[in-house]
Amino acid sequence: MDQQSGRRLLLPLAWLWRLIASPKAGQPLPEHWYVRPLAVLGIMLSFLIAYAVGSDEVPIDVGRDVGNALDDAVDWLTSNVSWFFQSIKDVMTWFLVSLEDMLLWFPWPAFIAMTGLICLLMVSWRMAFGSVAALLVLAVFGLWPATMETVALIIVTVTLSIAIAVPMGIWSSQSDRLDVFLRPILDAMQTMPSFVYLVPVVAFLGLGNVSGVLASLIFAVPPAVRLTNLGIRQLPAETLEAAESFGATQRQMLLKVKIPLAIPTIMAGVNQTTLMALSMVAIASLIGAGGLGLKVYQGLGRIEPGNAFIAGLGIVFLAIIMDRVTQALTRRQQEAVSGD
Amino acid sequence: MDQQSGRRLLLPLAWLWRLIASPKAGQPLPEHWYVRPLAVLGIMLSFLIAYAVGSDEVPIDVGRDVGNALDDAVDWLTSNVSWFFQSIKDVMTWFLVSLEDMLLWFPWPAFIAMTGLICLLMVSWRMAFGSVAALLVLAVFGLWPATMETVALIIVTVTLSIAIAVPMGIWSSQSDRLDVFLRPILDAMQTMPSFVYLVPVVAFLGLGNVSGVLASLIFAVPPAVRLTNLGIRQLPAETLEAAESFGATQRQMLLKVKIPLAIPTIMAGVNQTTLMALSMVAIASLIGAGGLGLKVYQGLGRIEPGNAFIAGLGIVFLAIIMDRVTQALTRRQQEAVSGD
Amino acid sequence: MTAAEGRTALSIRGLYKVFGDSDLEGLELSRSGQSKDEVQEATGAVVGLRDITIDIAQGELFVVMGLSGCGKSTLVRCINRLIEPSAGEVWIDDRAITGMADDELRETRRKDLAMVFQHFGLMPHRTVLENVALPLEIGGVARRERRERAVNALELVGLADWIASMPNQLSGGMKQRVGLARGLAMETPILLMDEPFSALDPVIRRDLQDELLALQSSVQKTIVFITHDLNEAVRVGDRIAIMRDGEIVQLGAPNDVVLNPVDAFVREFTQDVRLHGMVTAASIMDSSAEALAGPTEDRYVVREDAVLDELVPAGLSATQPLQVVDDSGNLVGVIPLQRLARAMVSDEAAAAIAAE
Amino acid sequence: MTAAEGRTALSIRGLYKVFGDSDLEGLELSRSGQSKDEVQEATGAVVGLRDITIDIAQGELFVVMGLSGCGKSTLVRCINRLIEPSAGEVWIDDRAITGMADDELRETRRKDLAMVFQHFGLMPHRTVLENVALPLEIGGVARRERRERAVNALELVGLADWIASMPNQLSGGMKQRVGLARGLAMETPILLMDEPFSALDPVIRRDLQDELLALQSSVQKTIVFITHDLNEAVRVGDRIAIMRDGEIVQLGAPNDVVLNPVDAFVREFTQDVRLHGMVTAASIMDSSAEALAGPTEDRYVVREDAVLDELVPAGLSATQPLQVVDDSGNLVGVIPLQRLARAMVSDEAAAAIAAE
Amino acid sequence: SSDDEQQQAVAEQPQQEQQQAAEAAQPEQQQQQAMQAEQPQQEQQTVAAAQQQAEQQEQAAAQQSQQPQQQQQAMQAEPKDPIVFSDLNWLSAEVQTRVVSYIVEHGYGYPTELVAGDTVSLWAGLTNNDTHVTLEIWPAQQPWIDELDEGVIELLGDSLDENWEGWVIPQYVKDANPDLVSVFDLPDYQELFVTADSRGKARFVGCIAGWACELVNLNKVAAYGLEDVVDVVDPGSGAALFADLEGAYARGDNWLGYIWGPTKPTATLDLYRLEEPEWTEECWNGDQGCAYPSSEVRIAVNTSLLDRAPEVIEFLRAWDYSAAEQIDTEIWMGDNDETPDAGAIWYLQNHQDAWMSRVPADVAERVLAALAEES
Ligand SMILES: Nc1ncnc2c1ncn2[C@@H]1O[C@H](COP(=O)(O)OP(=O)(O)OP(=O)(O)O)[C@@H](O)[C@H]1O
Ligand SMILES: Nc1ncnc2c1ncn2[C@@H]1O[C@H](COP(=O)(O)OP(=O)(O)OP(=O)(O)O)[C@@H](O)[C@H]1O
Ligand SMILES: [Mg+2]
Ligand SMILES: [Mg+2]
């Protein structure tokens, strides 16, 4: 292709890009009188074209080819980048196993008592009673080891989520470009059905709790990134202006003002992340993660909805306890920071 | 049991109930100096007891019995209440099939043009381009019929969710008692893994899209209830006070003031509901629902992550389009109502 | 000034309001004479109002003022029971609103009590017209009539051109005009106004005060007007009640309050008011028999309600004490020039002389 | 009053600020003399400041006032470049802050410019002490020294007992004291104050004004003080600039502004100020040769900066025109009693006479 | 347009009639589509059409409305209710289901539908009469098949002969360790399979949660005395089990676990099956310390079908799909990156001897006729 025709091809693309990238592209069409008639006309036109072309079928179908190419890519990654995943896996496995051992070493009455006390100090009498009762129910239903495994999974998932999400949220709060770039990715992470990535995750990391954690991470990270970003971006302009007027550098602003003030919102992100991680517990058991999720999945596989329900109830109990405790934490942070 | 001992048994229960139901039960333990030492002591005591009793195992296990009893209950319901579910199913099936037929009758270029126009008028140029591009990708990937089936599923799920959730939200905004009662139920609906209720749902409603809708409903209803409730409860006291000072009855307050003002928050609930419904699309395919979710599930079963990914991308695209459009709607409502 | 001579339209007797869980104990303590702080210390209950008794005459513009948190809003909300009083009674004409059942109360709110709010309390989802018509709609007035009444009220406040606008298209002053129109459209004998102009710019604020006074001279409602601004109070009020910690510390005509503050608190409060328009001949004249018997020739005559700003020019051209006469021309006192000069020197001196 | 005689500490020359997407076009139009509304009409850009030129002397307390939205905040924020000016220069001593690179600007903000905010701008997660020390921390001052300086500043504003409290435990007035202390602790020659007292109750407000004046008499900073309240401006200001629509419509000493409003806008604005403390002998005296040559016996002598409140007592005891002398005792004019009486009658008359 | 008119015309018919007409005319429609497809990308087009058809049977009525009116009336003579197949989500079942439904549809003239879902949901659907035929039931694996007692479900012929279950390692592991021959050699090679989370034991990937083999494997571990040697990992789902094996294979990792065949990995990967003691009834009823028997895999139908379609029941009783056929098809699909829909057509075209021996001649005739239209 000579330069001339190359340029001819690029020009409309460049124009399109300009149109999409311009700040006006971020606004709805202004409401001129001719907008609605034109809209109706456009739709009628596309009807006409559709009938003129004479077919309701989409003329091309490249889905299978693209899909197969992607499969090949996953295969390639599996064979060639596995050392990378393998090293992640080793670290995480060690972490998970030790945590689970620790939790199981803990006598169960002590764990229940501690949970009750935390609720009592942080949330309320009512919640303390509720959590103790809920955990006792789980214990006498024979779900204690499964519960502890799930707790370990959640703790690891949440910890990793925070470790990934908070820096990313902070970073994207500082860069509009990164923010715009990340947003659809986060959307995709949250809405992509987990069935899609279960197989690649297993291919990369093998079966087991680590894969479960990774699959949960994909789902659990976005809210923490979003809320960290939001928490920093939504800070009152007056407070930031004050710090700026003292001649603070970007770094000082971030460390001394923005992050401390955004803590409550970041905590709300942690709360969300915890719940998301819990909601993945059952799905994670499809790729070998254990705990309550596995019990649920086994109940499904054995057509024992009653047993699945009991294990599911365990997840609900854990979710409510973790939600209330992290919410209480958020509220405390909020109180510490509110009412300038 | 004679009356005397019956009463003796009930007394501590009544006392416990008084403790839990008292308003003080809703607050954390006050921070006296002796609270922390006592807490540590309590935990150490439970350690000691655990070791003294000599076993880390929970002594009782009634889980299986309870689970089996629940199974029986489900069986009983299946055999005896099926006429009820059947009639629901017939109505919903008719609705779903007609909607899907209509969407598929629509020439695909017209559908894409319309979506683009809606985005253009409601959201932005950028989104209009994006949505048209995304739908075109789905079309050439051979996912058009599946996409339309999913759209039909989502529309029905969201419509039903709103029909259920908004009145419930309004009602619970008017009654603290109902609110307190509903909250754990909503929590459970959102955190109970869907694997738990898949089998009972099939037992009641059979395989197919209708079951998929019902399973999605369980997950999609809570945010709309919550946000409707919140939207009404969070209204500015000044505005309500004004209406009250004119001598408005409860009913007038609700119809003329509270609900109109809460519309933006209710719309935010609809947005959430839509996303929740979409996130259930893949799971619903476990019980015979079709569309993009089924493609994902088939990709999982065939170990073709690439093809699953493409179908998953379809879900992501739909989610982003629906999210942005409902968000734009929410924003419009917000603008109409903001800045008293 | 229509002062408290007319028929009593609104009567508040022994009103208490105690907020909080232990409100009954708080009420008991408050009744036994303990102060707001003492009650709060002892029971945790917040005393909002303490033994308020006021009679407001038909057609009077009664101003309640005080610092933030003194209980002004609580008082006005107890009148229409947006806040339920802890004890005491509120009478409208011959009906005790404090004893009414729910539907009777609603009826009274619709027919007798309109209210205007500091934060306007407009419904953002309704047009200006619909906002003004809302109370009528709630009161069951027919569509045509409520439109008519709403348009009339909006004309009265000069917003006839804005009836189709949404509240968020209006400026603050216009919003408050809508709030006022809404109160007027209800055509109630009583209008409660809780800091109606506090959220506004000073210039707009003065406009609205003028408008209120003009309106009041034509519609002659009984108005309870809350403000924390003494200038405003003095400007619009027939009588002023000054509150502190839930109690009324002083109640009287504007010049009375300004010139005879009962204590240091009220004095500090009234410091910023321009006294020269407030000090009258009557308040600084010497009406002792001895003074009246002084030299009578070449005296300048002034009316007893002439204010300082009028007295001084007279004084400057006079060489003898000014002669103060009442409406019927009778001599009621004299003002020696020395005394006038002292009154000029400072506000405090004027107040001191007045208080002598 | 230290007026504009000293060395110029802060100099603003031809400053423009236009907000919006089409700010450059807006600037062009604004420069070509179009008004704020015209520019907004034509380009959608909002003119925040238009051709502002001011010299502020070392140690001067310079007040900027005007209605909401006139550009006061924009002006003060252009001085430390919290808002980037569209055109024009700001000089601090002999350095143009408008041309500075980022790190130089930061250095200047740390060393030369402190700012106090209407909304306090305290960091809710830090104690009072940590709040006051924050700018020093940012400026890299050593821990010990910053603690010392912060405590000193807090003592200066009377909050030494509160150093360990959190901001949300303080009342509004106390919060603003913390804000003030923070500004003082920075020990900068220039202090920018954007409506520092507007959010406060009137009584607390006066306290803080007094405190500011007392402080200023000891520390002698160059202060740019923003307010929308003329009483406050007159009370604290050495000079006052009145803004409207981004322009300075009048600039002068307080009594100058009050007595000689350049137009109806400024007059309306200044209506509420108590003139009697403002009108001086100099402003109403007749200094024509003819008047000076008038009857000279039995004249009462007053100083030329005596205010009306002082003149009247003198006038009341006089029978001939008052004689006005300057600091060195030279006769500079006379005030006929008739004229004094006219000045008394009303504020407007006084202003009119002054303007003659 | 003419389409619109037809739509209306159809709409005037009673609902029931319309439905039946639509279903009956199904084969006709397929023919038409097939005939149009004389274009370069023939195969792909056909596949697309077939795929679409399989998934959209529910909308048969809607599609039908676009058919010429006369045809509808002609076909109304022998209306048949559709037969619904459970579309299980593993490959052998997917291919088989499509093959059988193709034969039932074109050979026996029943409209067919496929409903997808997971195993237990589909089982529940079968007992509910939502679906009528499930082609791969592993009674040995699925302990919940007690529903049979109620006379709701009938097990018919064998469906996947020559299937096997066992413990495997990749062939390259075997090559590297030639002496690792039987399960009893495992203690010597424990170290090979240790991973970070296997707590020092050999990682052994077990059977899918909820299946009988889950427990059998545990019994075997005990019987072989391997409790201290292997750590049994629950793979969750079949997909995860396969993905784990394929991933390990691609990396060349040492892998030990349970698998059954024919499945995609057993067809495509080179695996070595560890030796176990011969299966005996006695051992199987005892500690289960012996090899898996070849499971019977059965076809299950809802009893409602017995009276309704006796000829189809007859066919299903005779149906005897073998593992070899499946493996052959899977290999073709793997080589061509094709879907089970295409795989089924390919099988019908290339394994005619196998399937034709299981159906009457006239049926075979009709199927062949339909197949001829496919390409
Ligand atoms: N709902 C409530 N619960 C507890 N205390 C209350 C409540 N409402 C008001 N108070 C207290 O009652 C007192 C009087 O409040 P009120 O709102 O009447 O003051 P105000 O004079 O209107 O003040 P402002 O000028 O700020 O409007 C205050 O001390 C306030 O804290
Ligand atoms: N970031 C901005 N973008 C656009 N316009 C702005 C911006 N900031 C201020 N303006 C406009 O500039 C003008 C001056 O605003 P500024 O905040 O300086 O007013 P102000 O005098 O401080 O008012 P106030 O008394 O309310 O604080 C106003 O018309 C305002 O709308
Ligand atoms: Mg109030
Ligand atoms: Mg400002």
DSSP letter string over E299-368? EEEETHHHHH-HHHHHHHHH---BHHHHHHHHHHHHHHT--HHHHHHHHHHH-HHHHHTTS-HHHHHHHH
Q: Is the pLDDT of residue E65 over 60?
A: no
CB B191 within 8 A of CB B241: no
Residues 6+ apart with CB under 8 A from C48: C17, C18, C19, C71, C74, C83, C246
Residues 6+ apart with CB under 8 A from B260: B337, C123, C125
pLDDT at B55: 59
Computed on alpha carbons and rounded to an integer, the radius of gyration of chain B in Å comes to 26
Instruction: Name the percent of chain E lying above pLDDT 70.
Output: 77
CB D77 near ligand 2, within 6 Å: no
CB C318 within 8 A of CB C300: yes
Residue A297 to residue B195, Cβ atoms within 8 A = yes
pLDDT at C326: 82
Residue type, D175: K
Q: Which residues line ligand 1 (CB under 6 A)?
A: C 19-20, 46, 48, 66, 68-74, 228
The pick from C17, C27, C37, C74 for probing ligand 1's pocket by mutation, whose C-beta has the most ligand atoms within 8 angstroms, reads: C74
Q: Encode pLDDT of C84-103 as tens digits.
A: 999 999 999 889 999 899 99
CB A247 within 8 A of CB D108: yes
Residue C129's pLDDT band, with cuts at 50, 70 and 90, is: very high
Residue C134 to residue B246, Cβ atoms within 8 A = yes
Report, as an integer, the average pLDDT of E153-175.
87
CB atoms within 10 A of CB A201: 27
The ligand 1 atom at the shortest distance from the C-alpha of residue C75 is 18
Report, as an integer, the average pLDDT of E200-207.
90
Mean confidence (pLDDT) of chain B: 85
pLDDT at B5: 64
Nearest CA to ligand 1 atom 30: C69
d(CA C91, CA C54) in angstroms, rounded, equals 10
* Structure letter (DSSP) for residue D261: -
CB D222 near ligand 2, within 6 Å: no
Residue C300's pLDDT band, with cuts at 50, 70 and 90, is: confident
Residue D285's pLDDT band, with cuts at 50, 70 and 90, is: confident
Question: Hey, what are A56's tokens?
Answer: 């309701």
D222-227 and D190-194 beta bridge pairing: parallel
CB A48 within 8 A of CB B279: no
pLDDT at A56: 65
Q: Which of A192-206, D147-161, E72-86, E279-293 has the lowest mean pLDDT?
A: E72-86
Report, as an integer, the average pLDDT of A297-321.
89
Q: Encode pLDDT of A161-181 as tens digits.
A: 999 999 999 999 999 889 988
pLDDT at A44: 80
* Structure letter (DSSP) for residue C119: T
CB D26 near ligand 2, within 6 Å: no
CB C173 within 8 A of CB C208: yes
Q: Which of B146, B288, B300 sits opposite E125 (nearest CB)?
A: B288
More confident residue, D13 or A9: D13
Residue B246 to residue C117, Cβ atoms within 8 A = no
pLDDT at B329: 86
**Residue E131 phi/psi, 5° resolution?**
-120, 160
Q: Which of E114, E156, E157, E7 is nearest to E67 (CA)?
A: E7
Question: Hey, what are B254's tokens?
Answer: 């609700």
How far is ligand 4, taken at its centre, from the CA of residue D228, in Å?
A: 9
Which residue's structure tokens are 């903001």?
A: B338
pLDDT at A73: 86
pLDDT at C344: 62
Q: Is E56 on the interface with B (CB under 8 A)?
A: yes
**Residue C22 phi/psi, 5° resolution?**
-100, 50
Q: Encode pLDDT of B209-246 as tens digits.
A: 888 999 999 999 999 999 999 999 989 888 899 999 99
CB E24 within 8 A of CB E111: yes
Instruction: Name the percent of chain D lying above pLDDT 90.
Output: 36
Mean confidence (pLDDT) of chain D: 84
pLDDT at D2: 42
More confident residue, E296 or A324: A324
**Domains located in chain C, CATH noted:** 56-112+188-273 (3.40.50.300), 277-355 (3.90.1280.20)
d(CA D242, CA D233) in angstroms, rounded, equals 10
Q: Encode pLDDT of D290-330 as tens digits.
A: 777 766 555 578 887 777 767 777 777 676 778 888 888 78
Report, as an integer, the average pLDDT of C318-345.
76
Q: Which of C255, C130, A45 is nearest to B256 (CA)?
A: C130
pLDDT at E281: 85
pLDDT at D135: 94
**C143: buried, middle or exposed (CB in 10 Å: 19+, 13-18, 0-12)?**
exposed
Residues 6+ apart with CB under 8 A from E303: E151, E152, E153, E154
Q: Classify residue C85 as left (phi > 0), alpha (psi -120 to 50) or beta.
A: beta
Domain boundary assignment for chain A: 3-53, 81-105+141-338
pLDDT at E51: 45
pLDDT at C275: 58
Report, as an integer, the average pLDDT of B172-199.
90
Question: Which of A246, A252, A255 is the best residue to mutate to test the D interface, defined by the most D CB atoms within 10 Å of its own CB?
Answer: A246
Helix/strand/coil for D19? strand
d(CA D164, CA D161) in angstroms, rounded, equals 8
One-letter-per-residue 3-state SS of B69-130: HHHHHHHHHHHHCHHHHHHHHHHHHHHHHHHHHHHHHCCHHHHHHHHHHHHHHHCCHHHHHH
Q: Is the pLDDT of residue E4 over 50?
A: no
Which residue's structure tokens are 């139009």?
A: D29
Q: Is the pLDDT of residue E15 over 90?
A: no
Residue C142's pLDDT band, with cuts at 50, 70 and 90, is: very high
CB D352 within 8 A of CB D302: no
Residue B172's pLDDT band, with cuts at 50, 70 and 90, is: very high
Mean confidence (pLDDT) of chain E: 78
Q: Is the pLDDT of residue A28 over 60?
A: yes
CB B242 within 8 A of CB C192: no
Report, as an integer, the average pLDDT of D167-179.
88
Q: Encode pLDDT of D209-225 as tens digits.
A: 888 898 888 888 999 99
Handedness of CA B214, B218, B219, B224 (dihedral sign): positive
H/E element holding B315? Answer: helix B305-337
pLDDT at E68: 44
Q: Which of C215, C176, C177 is nearest to C199 (CA)?
A: C176
Q: Is the pLDDT of residue C66 over 80?
A: yes
Residue C149's pLDDT band, with cuts at 50, 70 and 90, is: very high
E257-261 and E271-273 beta bridge pairing: unpaired
The pick from C16, C72, C79, C84 for probing ligand 1's pocket by mutation, whose C-beta has the most ligand atoms within 8 angstroms, reads: C72
Q: Encode pLDDT of B112-164 as tens digits.
A: 888 988 888 888 888 888 899 999 999 989 899 899 999 999 999 999 999 99
The residues that bridge with D333 in the sheet, in sequence order, are D324
CA distance D243 to chain A (A): 23
The reported pTM is 0.80
Choose the most confident range, by mean pLDDT, from A288-292, B166-170, C281-285, D281-285.
Answer: B166-170
Q: Encode pLDDT of A82-92 as tens digits.
A: 778 888 888 88
d(CA A88, CA A205) in angstroms, rounded, equals 9
The DSSP secondary structure of D175-193, one letter per residue, reads HHHHHHHHHHHTT-SEEEE
Residue type, A124: S
CB C350 within 8 A of CB C284: yes
d(CA A79, CA E250) in angstroms, rounded, equals 5
Residues 6+ apart with CB under 8 A from E91: B301, B302, E263, E264, E326, E330, E333, E340
How far is ligand 4, taken at its centre, from the CA of residue D243, in Å?
A: 12
More confident residue, B292 or E25: B292
Buried b (16+ CB within 10 A) or exposed e, E257-294: bbbbbbbbbbbebebbbbebeeeeeeebeeebbbbbee
Question: Hey, what are C330's tokens?
Answer: 């009778």
Report, as an integer, the average pLDDT of A204-231.
91
pLDDT at E152: 83
Longest dimension (CA), chain C: 73
Roughly what angle, to the nearest 10 degrees, separates helices D308-317 and D337-345? 130
Name subunits touching B (3+ CB pairs < 8 A): A, C, E
Residue B238 to residue C168, Cβ atoms within 8 A = no
The yes-or-no reply on A/C contact (3 CB pairs or more, < 8 Å) is no
Fold of A81-105+141-338: MetI-like fold (1.10.3720)
- Can you say how many angstroms the Cα of residue D134 is from the centroid of all Cα atoms in its chain? 27
Q: Is the pLDDT of residue D148 over 80?
A: yes
Q: Is the pLDDT of residue E139 over 60?
A: yes
The ligand 2 atom at the shortest distance from the C-alpha of residue D74 is 18
Report, as an integer, the average pLDDT of E323-341.
87
CB atoms within 10 A of CB D139: 18
Residue D135 to residue A246, Cβ atoms within 8 A = yes
Residue D258's pLDDT band, with cuts at 50, 70 and 90, is: confident
Report, as an integer, the average pLDDT of B303-307.
87
Q: Which of B182-196, B301-315, C300-314, D183-197 has the lowest mean pLDDT?
A: C300-314
ipTM above 0.90 for this complex: no
Computed on alpha carbons and rounded to an integer, the radius of gyration of chain C in Å comes to 23
pLDDT at A254: 92
Residues 6+ apart with CB under 8 A from E137: E145, E155, E159, E297, E298, E299, E300
- Can you say how many angstroms the Cα of residue C336 is from the centroid of all Cα atoms in its chain? 35
The yes-or-no reply on D/E contact (3 CB pairs or more, < 8 Å) is no
